[in-house]
Amino acid sequence: MRGNIGQGFGVEIMYPGLSLTPDDSGIGPIGRIDRAQVQPGHLIGMHPHKDDEILTYIRGGEMLHRDTVGNEKRLDNTHFMMMNAGHAFQHEELMLGDNPVRALQIFLRPNAADLEPVVQFHEFPEENSVDSWRLIAGPHKAPLLVRSDVRVFDALIRNDVQLRLPITDTGRNMLLYVYSGKITLGDQVVSEGESLFLTGFDKHPTALVASDVVLFSFDPKAEVYRRGMFSGNQRQSATNPLCR
């Protein structure tokens, strides 16, 4: 845990590639996942991002987002945001209300450097998608667009329910992250804050308790830029940052 919850802000940072690859802290287009808890009234002041595609996924509380491209928007567990940071972008976040903000900040990798900065917002009709995969972000035909070959889904899986993975294309890998609860997949048990990397899809997750999960589906051979400010490779400074 970085920061101090008692002083307003704490975050657990997960680099999904650290236990899987010798030379990349991320996996393909997934650079980093931050699990944050921020106290009401706390201000995360104006700060920069560059060459990151950033999904703000709130599970509790609400915040006010302001940025250098002119947006001021309230975010909560039905109002999500994608910051396509591109070549230059800054924003700040003020925690609103009486309850802590509990959220994921998901740093995805773009397919190229120095893209135009864009900020997108989407309101979902419900807080949760119960026993059904909900598409949140993707490269096309998604509520929030990401400039990379990755699709992000979520679901609230009820106790004892098995939910089939959303397999639409061959040659893709998946990363399953458990935000809350506990699931099994084959002989693996995945608890709150843990993730599971998948290359075969003959088994499907079953909830041991009601579980809030996030699923990433991506092409491992797709082009990604690995030197984003937050999504970039922390293991080495790549000599050829644009990798296939």
AA identity, residue 51: D
Q: Domain span at residue 103?
A: 2-232
Binding site: what residues are annotated? 47, 49, 91, 93
Domain-located, residue 10: yes
Per the structure, the count of domains in the chain is 1
Distances in whole angstroms, Cα of residue 45 to Cα of each of 21, 72, 74, 92, 157: 34, 14, 16, 5, 36
CA atoms within 13 A on the CB side of 172: 18
Binding site for Fe cation: what residues are annotated? 47, 49, 91, 93
5: DSSP letter: G
Backbone angles phi, psi at 7, to 5 degrees: -95, 5
- Cα(175)–Cα(85) distance, rounded to whole angstroms? 23
pTM of this prediction? Answer: 0.93
b/e string for 55-72 if b means 16 or more Cβ within 10 A?
A: bbbbbebbbebebeeeee
Domain-located, residue 16: yes
Task: Give the per-residue pLDDT at 7.
Answer: 56
- Cα(203)–Cα(190) distance, rounded to whole angstroms? 14
Q: Provide the token pair at 86.
A: 């591109």
Domain-located, residue 244: no
Domain-located, residue 164: yes
- Per-residue confidence in pLDDT tens, the chain, 244 aa: 455 555 567 899 999 999 888 899 999 999 999 999 999 999 999 999 999 999 999 999 999 999 999 999 999 999 999 999 999 899 999 999 999 999 999 999 999 999 999 999 999 999 999 999 999 999 999 999 999 999 999 999 999 999 999 987 788 999 999 999 999 999 999 999 999 999 988 899 999 999 999 999 999 999 999 999 999 998 864 433 444 3
Domain-located, residue 240: no
Task: Give the per-residue pLDDT at 6.
Answer: 56
| DSSP line for 200-233 | --SS--EESS-EEEEEEEE-TTS-EE---TTTS-
Q: What is the CATH number of the domain that holds 169?
A: 2.60.120.10
Domain-located, residue 129: yes
